[in-house]
C-alpha cells in the first residue's frame, strides 16, 4: 500500500479521532472582490477549479475562498441541508517552536480551558457535547490544528464564537495551568509503552541535535513545571499570529452570511506578521546515519524493517507529486509487485511506501516491510530484493496509464463525493499546504504528468544514502542504549561492506515491473432508475433472505453487496472455530491480494471476515457499481477452496498467535474493556483462550474446515445502491452456486445473548495487567431496550458526558483518558464510564465515579432552569441528527441492513425513536435517572485493572504495621 501522509508525530488531545474523508466543491467566482462590513472587510479569491459536482445531494452546496481583513486565509462551505456544522483553524506553530520542551503542546491544551467571554474551564466542552458535537486539537511539528464537528446547525453560532476566542483572548488561568500540567504528564505516560511513540523517540535521539526535530515534544511533569502562565502567554503572543493561520467552516447559511460570520469570528485575531519557520538546508538526520542499521526492541512482538531517505524538498511538488507516484509504484500489491515477490519468498507479510512531510522543508521517504520470522533472519536478502525492485522500476519510465488512472479515480471521487461531517477539518488541513489561489485543485489532483521527476526520486533511493531500522525482538547485536524519555532499548551498527556492495550492484528483478492497466477502473458510471422508500424482500425461504434497496436519495454510481453466510461450523463459544475462521479469511485475502489492490485503487473494496458475534462468514463488496459484480465473482471464486499450503499456513498461524499474545500488552483500559465483554456476553472467547486454541491447529484441520464450512448455512443478503433487482437476484444465485450446501436452522446459528448484570448487588472483577497504568471500567445495567428506555439512556449519557470529564480529568486530574456514554449489547442497555490513570488506584477511581454519579443525580433532581435549558438543547440536537442520520449511501445501506436483520425489518424504527424522543420530558428523565443511577439499581459492574509498574505504587494504601 502507499502511505497516507499525516502530520508526523502529532500530539493529539484525546477527545475524538480526526476526520476521515475527502469532499470538496468551490463555485465559480469571477474576480477578486472585497466586501466592507460594519466591522471590517474580507476579500474573495476567485475559483480556478471548474469541475461540477454530480451528486444530487450536494447540488446546492457552495463555497468561497476568503482572505480576512487580518490576513487569515480560509474557506466557507455553505450547505443549506447539512445535518451538522463545523469549523477548524490551523496555525503554523508547533513543537518545533518550543522554547521549553512541550510548550506548544501545553499551549494547545490550555486554549480549551477558558476565554475572556467564556471564562469557565468547561464551557466549551459542555457547549460542544450538548450540541451533539465533537472536538479536538493536536500539536504537530510545524503546526497546530483545532476543530469542532458534528455540531447541530442551531448551535453553530455559539460554537464558532466560543472556538474563535481561543485565538485572541485565552485566559491561561493560573489555577488551570497548574492542574493541566498533570494532564500533559498523564498523556506522556500513557504513551510510554506504545511502540510507535518509542520508535519516534529513538529517531529523535538519533537526529541532528541542532534540528528542532530532535527535541522532546510531548512534555511531561518535569518540563511542564518550568512553564509558567507568563511563559505560555508570551509563547502564544509570539507564535499565534493571523498571517500563519488558515480556517474552514461548514454551515447552513449562505456563502455571504458565512463569510460575514468568519470575519466576525476570526477577524479580531492579531496579525504580528510572524515569519514562518524555515529549515532550508538543515537536515533532520546526520549523514553519519547513512549505511547504518538501528535496531529497536519493541514492547509488543513486532517485526518491521524500514528503509528511510531524507530527500530534497522539491519532491513535495504539489503539481506533479513525484513522491505520490513513486509510493504507488513501490507500494503496489498487484501482479509483478515487490510485495508479491517478497511474499512468494516467504520474507514478508506486508509492505508500505510513502513520504512523510516532517515539517517545514524536511521530507522523508520510507519503505516499511512487515517481516516473517524468516524475513528477520534474512533481512539482508529483503533489503536486496527492495533494491532489485527499485532497479526494475528505474529500468523503464513510469507508464502514462498509471498517471491517467490515478487522475481519473481522483476526478470521479471528486465529482461523486458525498457529505462528510469532517469536511471543515479536512479542508483546513489541506489549505495550509496549498496556495489559496489554486485550492483545492492541487490537493485533489496530480495536475501534470512528469515521469522524469518520479524517475529522479527513484534515483535518490540508493543503498548509500539509506538509513535502515529494524523493530524486532531478539536483536542481532547487543542493544546498549536506552532512549532518555521512554527507555526504549536500541543500538546503531554500520552496515557490513559486503552487504552494501551486494545491494549497490542490484540488477532489475525479472518478477517486478510497473503496474499493468487496472481492469477495475470504471468507465461509464451509468445510473440505474431507482425508486424505493424501503428495502424490498426479494427472496425468503429456508436458505435465507435477500433484501434489495435501489436507493433513490443518493444519486451516486455506487453499490453494496453484503452477504452474511451463517454456519454452525463457527460458534462464539468455540475458540477453535474462531481461530480456524480467522485463518480461513486470511487465506482468502492472500489469494485475492493481487486483485484487491487494483480494485481498491479504483474505488472498489471487498471484505471477507467473521460475522459479528462469530456465527459465520461475512462477504461484502462495495464501491463504484460498474465492476462490483465482477469483484464479487472473483471473491466467491476463492471462498470454497483457498488452497491451504503448509508453508503459508505456518506463517499465518504464527502471525495470528502473535496478535492474540500482543493483546496482553494493550493499554490497561483496552484489557479492562475486554474483561467487560467477557462478563456481558454469554459466549465469549478472550484473546488468551484463542491463543491457546491456536496451539492445536494444523493445516489439515484448516483444509477440512474450509471444505465443510458451507455444507449447511443460512444466508442473510442485502444488495443496494445503484443496482437493479435482476442484478441483486443474479448475485444471490451466484453465491448459492459458488457455495453449494443445504439450509440450516436459524437456531443453530443464533448469536450469543447479553447477560444482564446481577440484581443482587454491585459486583467487581479485578485483574492485574502486565503494563504501566491502571484502569477502571464502570458499567450500569439499565434493562431491555424499548424506545423510551433508549431515549432516557441517550439523553442522560449526553448530560453526564461533560461534567464527568470536567470532574475526573480537568479538575481532579485522575487520568488523561476519561470518557463516558451509552452502550447497547444485543437488546440490553448500559451506561458506561472509563478512566485510565497513571496516578490513581482503580478502587480510588471507582469511589470517585460513584461519588460523581451520586452528586450528579442529586443536582439533576434538585436543579431548576439551568438543567432545563441543557435538557432542551441536548434533546433538540439529538432530534436534529435523528431526522438526518446518514451522510453517505454506504452508511444508509448499512443502517437498513441492520434494520432488516437485527430489528425484524422494522423500517419505521427511526420514526418511532423520534416520536419517543419528542414526547420525553425533563420529568421523565429525572424519574429514569433516579431508577438508573440511584443506589436501588444494583446492576452495577466494575472492572479494576492494576498495572505492574513502580509508578502505580507511588500513592497506594498499605496495611498498617506497628513498628
Ligand atoms: Zn495533548
Mind listing the pLDDT tens digit for each residue in 259-297?
999 999 999 999 999 999 999 889 999 999 999 999 999
* d(CA 136, ligand 1 centre) in Å: 10
Tell me phi and psi for residue 233, to 5 degrees: -60, -40
Whether residue 716 lies inside any domain: the answer is: yes
Task: State in Å: Cα 14 to ligand 1 middle.
Answer: 7
Q: Does the residue 494 lie in any domain? A: yes
Confidence band, pLDDT 50/70/90 cuts, at residue 20: very low
Separation of CA 191 and ligand 1 centre (Å): 11
pLDDT of residue 34: 54
Cα(314) to centroid of ligand 1, in Å? 32
Which pLDDT belongs to residue 607? 95
* High-pLDDT (> 70) share of the chain, %: 95
Give the confidence band of 952 by pLDDT, cuts at 50, 70, 90. Answer: low
Q: Is residue 552 pLDDT above 60, yes or no?
A: yes
Are residues 917 and 808 part of one domain? yes
Across 603-625, average pLDDT: 95
Over 50: is that where the pLDDT of 213 sits?
yes
State yes or no: pLDDT of 14 exceeds 80: no
pLDDT of residue 9: 41
The alpha carbon of 669 and the centre of ligand 1 are apart by a number of angstroms equal to 18
Whether residues 865 and 723 share a domain: the answer is no
Per-chain residues with Cβ under 5 A from ion ligand 1: 13, 187
Lowest-pLDDT choice from 111-125, 197-211, 527-541, 774-788? 527-541
Of 625, 572, 552, 620, nearest to 894 by C-alpha is 620
Instruction: Output 65 or 752, whichever has higher pLDDT.
Output: 65
- For the stretch 744-772, pLDDT in tens is 988 889 888 999 999 998 999 999 999 99
Containing 175, the helix (H) or strand (E) segment is: helix 174-191
Q: Is 60 exceeded by the pLDDT of residue 23?
A: no
Q: What is the pLDDT of residue 13?
A: 40
Residue 350 lies inside a defined structural domain of this protein = yes
Give me the mean pLDDT over the 656-672 stretch: 95
657 and 739 part of one domain: yes
Confidence of residue 29 (pLDDT cuts 50, 70, 90): very low
pLDDT of residue 495 exceeding 80, the answer is: yes
Shared-domain flag, residues 316 and 457 = yes
- Cα dihedral angle (430, 433, 435, 439), rounded to 10 degrees? -20
Query: Where does a domain end: 488, 504, 520?
Result: 504
Q: Domain of 726: which CATH number?
A: 3.30.830.10
User: 480 and 609: one domain?
Assistant: no
Q: What is the mean pLDDT of residues 639-648?
A: 92
Burial of residue 801, with CB atoms counted within 10 A of its CB: 0-12 exposed, 13-18 middle, 19 or more buried: buried
What pLDDT was estimated at residue 21?
25
CA–centroid distance, 184 to ligand 1, in Å, is: 6
Residue 963 lies in a domain: no
pLDDT class of 954 with cuts at 50, 70, 90: low
| 17, pLDDT greater than 70 | no
Inside any domain, residue 669: yes
Please say which residue of 749, 783, 802 terminates a domain: 749
**For 125-130, what is the mean pLDDT?**
96
Same domain (yes/no): 556, 612: yes
3-state secondary structure labels for all residues of 437-456: CCCCHHHHCCCCCCHHHHHH
Q: Does the residue 647 lie in any domain?
A: yes
- Cα of 377 from ligand 1 centre, angstroms: 39
**Ligand 1 midpoint to CA 119 (Å):** 21
What confidence category does residue 594 fall into, taking pLDDT thresholds of 50, 70 and 90?
Answer: confident
| Dist. CA 491 → ligand 1 center (Å) | 30
When pLDDT is cut at 50, 70 and 90, the band that residue 31 belongs to is very low
pLDDT value at residue 953: 61
Where in the sequence is the domain holding 478, given as residue range(s)?
287-419+439-504
Asked whether residue 52 is domain-assigned, the answer is no
**Based on the domain organization, do 689 and 771 belong to the same domain?**
no
Mark which of 708, 725, 749 sits at the end of a domain: 749
643, with CB counted inside 10 A (0-12, 13-18, 19+), is exposed
Q: Label residue 2 by pLDDT band (50, 70, 90).
A: low
Mean pLDDT, rounded, for 304-308: 98
Kindly report the backbone phi and psi dihedral angles of residue 591, in degrees, each rounded to the nearest multiple of 5, phi listed first. Answer: -65, -30
- Residue 153 corresponds to which cell in the numbers above? 446547525
Number of domains the chain contains: 3
Average pLDDT over residues 671-682: 96
Q: What is the pLDDT of residue 555?
A: 83
pLDDT of 962: 83
- Is the pTM here over 0.75, yes or no? yes
739 and 807 both lie in a single domain = no
| Angle between the N-to-C axes of helices 174-191 and 103-111, in degrees from 0 to 180, rounded to the nearest 10 | 120
- Indicate if the pLDDT at residue 389 is higher than 50: yes
Mean pLDDT of 853-872: 92
Whether residues 340 and 463 fall in one domain = yes
Average pLDDT over the chain, rounded to an integer: 92
Beta strand 763-768 pairing with 828-837: unpaired
502-509 mean pLDDT: 97
pLDDT of residue 629: 94
Please determine, for residue 492, whether its predicted confidence score (pLDDT) is greater than 60: yes
Confidence at residue 747, expressed as pLDDT on a 0 to 100 scale: 86
CB of 605 closer than 8 Å to CB of 658:
no
Evaluate if residue 845 carries a pLDDT over 70.
Answer: yes
Do 553 and 485 lie in one domain? The reply is no
pLDDT at 903: 95
Same domain as 474, residue 565: no
Q: Can you give the pLDDT at residue 4?
A: 43
Residues 566 and 653 in one domain: yes
As a whole number of angstroms, the distance between CA 847 and CA 856 comes to: 14
For residue 182, the CA-to-ligand 1 centroid distance in Å is: 11
Dist. CA 12 → ligand 1 center (Å): 5
Helices (H), 840-958: 842-862, 865-883, 889-902, 909-919, 922-933
Instruction: Give domain status of residue 174, yes or no.
Output: no
Amino acid at each position: 500500500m502507499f502511505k497516507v501522509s499525516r502530520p508526523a508525530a502529532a500530539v493529539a488531545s484525546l477527545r475524538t479521532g480526526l476526520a476521515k474523508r475527502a469532499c470538496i466543491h468551490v463555485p465559480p467566482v469571477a474576480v477578486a472582490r472585497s466586501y466592507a462590513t460594519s466591522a471590517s472587510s474580507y476579500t474573495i479569491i476567485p475559483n480556478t477549479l471548474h469541475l461540477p459536482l454530480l451528486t444530487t445531494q450536494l447540488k446546492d452546496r457552495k463555497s468561497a475562498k476568503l482572505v480576512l481583513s487580518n490576513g487569515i486565509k480560509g474557506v466557507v462551505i455553505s450547505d443549506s441541508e447539512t445535518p451538522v456544522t463545523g469549523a477548524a483553524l490551523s496555525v503554523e506553530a508547533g513543537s518545533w517552536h518550543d522554547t521549553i520542551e512541550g510548550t506548544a503542546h501545553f499551549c494547545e491544551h490550555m486554549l480549551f480551558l477558558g476565554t475572556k467571554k467564556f471564562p469557565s474551564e468547561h464551557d466549551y466542552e459542555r457547549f460542544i457535547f450538548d450540541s451533539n458535537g465533537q472536538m479536538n486539537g493536536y500539536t504537530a511539528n510545524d503546526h497546530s490544528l483545532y476543530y469542532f464537528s458534528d455540531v447541530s446547525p442551531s448551535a453553530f453560532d455559539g460554537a464558532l464564537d466560543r472556538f474563535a476566542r481561543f485565538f485572541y483572548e485565552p485566559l491561561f488561568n493560573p489555577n488551570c495551568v497548574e492542574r493541566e500540567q498533570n494532564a500533559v504528564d498523564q498523556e506522556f505516560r500513557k504513551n510510554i509503552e506504545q511502540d510507535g511513540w518509542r520508535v519516534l523517540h529513538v529517531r529523535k535521539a538519533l537526529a541532528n541535535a541542532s534540528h528542532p526535530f530532535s527535541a522532546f515534544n510531548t512534555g511531561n511533569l518535569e518540563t511542564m513545571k518550568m512553564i509558567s502562565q507568563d511563559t505560555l502567554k508570551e509563547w502564544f503572543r509570539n507564535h499565534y499570529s493571523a498571517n500563519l493561520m488558515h480556517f474552514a467552516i461548514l454551515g447552513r447559511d449562505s456563502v455571504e452570511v458565512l463569510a460575514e460570520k468568519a470575519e466576525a469570528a476570526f477577524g479580531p485575531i492579531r496579525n504580528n506578521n510572524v515569519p514562518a519557520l524555515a529549515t532550508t538546508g538543515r537536515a533532520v538526520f546526520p549523514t553519519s546515519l547513512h549505511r547504518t542499521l538501528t535496531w529497536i526492541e519493541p514492547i509488543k512482538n513486532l517485526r518491521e524493517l524500514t528503509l528511510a531517505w531524507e530527500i530534497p524538498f522539491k519532491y513535495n511538488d504539489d503539481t506533479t507529486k513525484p513522491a505520490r507516484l513513486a509510493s504507488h509504484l513501490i507500494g503496489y500489491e498487484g501482479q509483478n509487485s515487490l510485495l508479491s515477490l517478497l511474499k512468494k519468498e516467504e520474507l514478508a507479510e506486508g509492505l508500505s511506501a510513502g513520504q512523510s512531510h516532517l515539517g517545514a522543508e524536511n521530507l522523508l521517504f520510507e519503505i516499511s516491510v512487515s517481516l516473517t520470522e524468516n524475513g528477520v533472519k534474512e533481512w539482508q536478502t529483503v533489503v536486496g530484493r527492495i533494491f532489485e525492485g527499485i532497479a526494475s522500476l528505474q529500468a523503464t519510465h513510469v507508464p502514462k496509464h498509471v498517471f491517467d488512472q490515478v487522475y481519473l479515480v481522483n476526478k470521479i471521487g471528486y465529482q461523486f463525493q458525498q457529505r462528510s461531517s469532517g469536511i471543515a477539518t479536512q479542508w483546513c488541513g489541506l489549505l495550509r499546504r496549498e496556495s489559496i489561489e489554486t485550492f483545492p485543485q492541487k490537493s485533489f489532483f496530480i495536475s501534470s504528468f512528469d515521469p522524469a521527476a518520479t524517475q529522479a526520486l527513484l534515483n535518490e533511493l540508493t543503498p548509500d544514502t539509506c538509513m535502515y531500522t529494524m523493530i524486532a525482538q531478539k536483536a542481532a547485536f547487543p542493544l546498549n542504549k536506552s532512549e532518555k524519555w521512554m527507555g526504549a532499548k536500541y543500538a546503531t551498527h554500520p552496515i557490513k561492506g559486503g552487504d552494501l556492495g551486494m545491494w549497490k550492484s542490484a540488477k532489475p528483478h525479472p518478477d517486478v515491473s510497473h503496474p499493468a492497466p487496472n481492469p477495475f477502473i470504471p468507465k461509464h458510471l451509468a445510473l440505474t432508475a431507482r425508486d424505493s422508500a424501503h428495502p424490498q424482500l426479494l427472496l425468503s425461504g429456508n436458505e435465507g433472505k435477500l433484501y434489495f434497496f435501489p436507493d433513490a436519495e443518493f444519486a451516486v454510481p455506487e453499490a453494496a453487496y453484503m452477504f452474511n453466510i451463517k454456519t454452525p461450523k463457527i460458534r462464539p463459544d468455540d475458540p477453535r472455530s474462531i481461530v480456524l475462521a480467522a485463518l480461513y479469511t486470511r487465506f482468502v485475502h492472500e489469494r485475492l491480494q493481487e486483485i484487491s489492490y487494483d480494485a481498491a485503487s479504483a474505488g472498489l473494496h471487498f471484505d471477507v471476515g467473521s460475522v459479528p458475534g462469530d456465527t459465520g462468514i461475512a462477504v461484502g463488496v462495495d464501491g463504484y457499481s460498474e465492476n462490483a459484480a465482477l469483484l464479487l465473482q472473483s471473491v466467491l471464486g476463492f471462498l470454497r477452496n483457498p488452497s491451504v499450503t503448509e508453508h503459508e499456513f505456518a506463517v499465518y498461524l504464527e502471525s495470528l498467535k502473535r496478535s492474540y499474545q500482543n493483546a496482553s500488552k494493550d493499554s490497561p483500559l483496552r484489557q479492562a474493556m475486554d474483561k467487560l465483554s467477557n462478563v456481558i456476553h454469554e459466549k465469549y472467547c478472550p484473546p488468551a483462550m484463542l491463543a491457546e486454541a491456536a496451539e492445536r491447529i494444523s493445516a489439515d484441520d484448516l483444509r477440512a474446515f474450509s471444505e465443510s464450512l458451507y455444507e449447511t448455512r443460512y444466508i442473510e443478503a442485502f444488495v443496494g445502491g445503484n443496482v437493479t433487482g435482476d442484478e441483486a437476484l443474479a448475485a444471490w444465485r451466484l453465491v448459492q452456486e459458488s457455495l453449494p450446501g443445504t439450509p440450516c436452522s436459524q437456531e443453530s446459528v443464533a448469536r450469543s445473548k447479553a447477560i444482564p448484570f446481577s440484581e443482587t448487588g454491585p459486583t467487581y472483577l479485578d485483574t492485574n495487567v502486565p503494563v504501566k497504568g491502571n484502569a477502571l471500567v464502570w458499567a450500569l445495567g439499565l434493562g431491555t431496550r424499548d424506545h423510551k428506555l433508549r431515549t432516557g439512556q441517550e439523553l442522560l449519557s449526553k448530560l453526564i458526558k461533560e461534567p464527568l470529564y470536567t470532574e475526573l480529568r480537568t479538575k481532579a486530574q485522575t487520568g488523561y483518558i476519561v470518557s463516558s456514554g451509552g452502550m447497547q449489547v444485543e437488546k440490553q442497555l448500559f451506561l458506561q464510564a472509563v478512566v485510565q490513570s497513571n496516578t490513581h488506584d482503580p478502587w480510588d477511581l471507582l469511589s470517585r465515579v460513584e461519588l460523581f454519579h451520586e452528586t450528579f443525580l442529586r443536582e439533576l433532581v434538585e436543579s431548576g432552569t439551568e438543567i432545563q435549558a441543557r435538557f432542551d438543547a441536548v434533546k433538540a440536537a439529538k432530534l436534529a441528527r435523528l431526522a438526518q442520520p446518514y451522510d453517505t449511501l454506504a452508511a444508509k445501506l448499512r443502517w437498513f441492513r441492520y434494520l432488516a436483520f437485527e430489528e425484524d425489518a422494522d423500517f419505521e424504527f427511526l420514526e418511532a425513536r423520534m416520536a419517543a424522543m419528542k414526547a420525553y420530558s425533563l420529568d421523565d428523565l429525572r424519574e429514569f435517572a433516579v431508577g438508573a443511577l440511584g443506589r436501588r439499581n444494583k446492576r452495577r459492574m466494575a472492572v479494576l485493572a492494576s498495572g505492574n509498574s513502580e509508578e502505580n505504587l507511588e500513592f497506594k494504601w498499605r496495611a498498617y504495621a506497628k513498628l
